[in-house]
Amino acid sequence: MIEDGRVTVNGRPAELGMKVNLSRDVVRVDHYVVEPLATEWVALHKPRGFVTTRDDPSGRKTIYDLLPEEALHLFHVGRLDRDSSGLLLLTNDGEAANRLLHPRYETAKEYRVDVEGTPSKESLRRLVDGVRLEDGIAQAESVELREQSEAGTSRLVLVVKEGRNREVRRMFEAIGHPVYRLFRRAFGPIEVGKLKVGEWRKLTREEIALLTASGPGAGDGAARSPGGRRPSAERRETGEPREGRGSSPARRQSGAPRGRPASDRAPSDRPSSGRSSSERTSPGRSSSERLSSERPSSERPSSGRSSSGRSASGRSSSGGARGPARGSGEGTGKGRRPDREEGR
């Protein structure tokens, strides 16, 4: 259409590759004004057992089976693998989605991770310093051991700022503690909150503004503690320990009915039509320290990135170990569809 001269921008013929801003430029096709699409964002609490794709050749259930007709045109921002659950964002704003997934902007994702065995403090420090994977060094922004069970499993809270394929699972495999349950609690400033498993909601204007803010670190939730509370400047600088409440690791579950996702909790947590509370865990006491990446970049293994790319908003440069914090653990419109996969 552009080569045929049917498209104009501000009254002049459009050229291939030119950029336009529909908030100020007038685009016409065959003399008809092109109206910009309204930006849409949806938060979905993905259950286990669903694949993050629009169509699955194997006939498995997809996340789009959970969405209404009016939301089927949205595309997912990153991915959660079939065995993972938690927050998944969908939108028609391709430009903002690509920015959230680009490593430059270091959008923080928080996960609750149940693993086999109990990682030592040295193993957790390896996650923060960086572990070598087949596709390069992978580093956690912070990690905290929350609970240990008599069954020989542990629950941790991990924050990462990358989005490689199955990254979180591969990181824990690298330190000898395979993941058996993975739950994403937050993506940048957006939290799963009280959204029930299998349900969705539209983001508020305030949430969309936080996600689409421009500049490095946009949508970054790293300045918050895992519970969503912003730590005081004194605690950020001194690393003063804080007491908190943890969660007991859930036991393995099997034998889920055919056609229903494996439950992360009690049957009431399975997909339903209500929107009351999110997954709950029994209270416990944290018995270990929270390790963060607040260390000079020269002390970490090289990952091929500049040291400035690892700094987090609102964090001290001296860094070190912290005490446990409160919290619980895991478009086709305006740009091209992002193909990156979130690390899990």
H/E element, 245: strand 245-247
What's the pLDDT band for 152 if we cut at 50, 70, 90? very high
- Those residues whose C-beta lies under 8 Å from the C-beta of residue 32, and which sit 6 or more positions away, are none
Give the residue-averaged pLDDT of 82-87.
97
Q: In sequence order, what are the residues at sequence separation of 6 or more whose Cβ sits closer than 8 angstroms to the Cβ of residue 225?
A: 231, 325, 326, 327
Confidence bin at 19 (pLDDT 50/70/90): confident
Asked if pLDDT for residue 127 goes beyond 60, the answer is yes
The residue ranking higher by pLDDT, 4 or 179, is 179
**Is the pLDDT assigned to residue 190 strictly greater than 80?**
yes
- What is the pLDDT averaged over residues 41-50? 98
Give tens-digit pLDDT for 240-274: 333 333 333 333 333 333 333 333 443 334 444 43
pLDDT of residue 294: 62
Mean pLDDT, range 275-297, rounded to an integer: 49
81 given a catalytic annotation: yes
Percent of the chain at pLDDT > 90 equals 49
Residue 138 has pLDDT above 90, yes or no: yes
Catalytic member of 30, 56, 65, 81? 81
Give every CB contact of residue 18 below 8 A, 6+ residues apart in sequence: 9
Q: What are phi and psi of 13, to 5 degrees?
A: -60, 135
Average pLDDT in the chain: 73
* Arithmetic mean of pLDDT, 289-306: 54
Model pLDDT, residue 186:
97
What is the pLDDT at residue 197? 97
Alpha-carbon span 65 to 5, nearest angstrom: 41
Mean per-residue pLDDT, 281-298? 52
* Mean pLDDT calculated for residue range 299-319: 42
Q: Band of the pLDDT at 65, cuts 50, 70, 90?
A: very high
- Which of 38-47, 71-80, 216-225 is least confident? 216-225
Determine what percent of the chain is predicted with pLDDT higher than 70.
63
Residues in a beta bridge with 12: 9
Average pLDDT over residues 120-126: 96
Instruction: Inform me whether the pLDDT recorded for 329 exceeds 80.
Output: no
The CA-atom distances, in angstroms, between 92 and each of 65, 132, 187, 190, 198 are 18, 35, 17, 17, 20
For residues 289 and 120, the model is more confident at 120
319 φψ region: left (φ > 0), alpha (ψ -120 to 50), beta (else): left
- pLDDT score, position 133: 94
- Report the predicted TM-score, pTM, of the whole model to 2 decimal places: 0.62
Note the pLDDT of residue 344: 55
Q: Does 159 or 4 have the greater pLDDT score?
A: 159
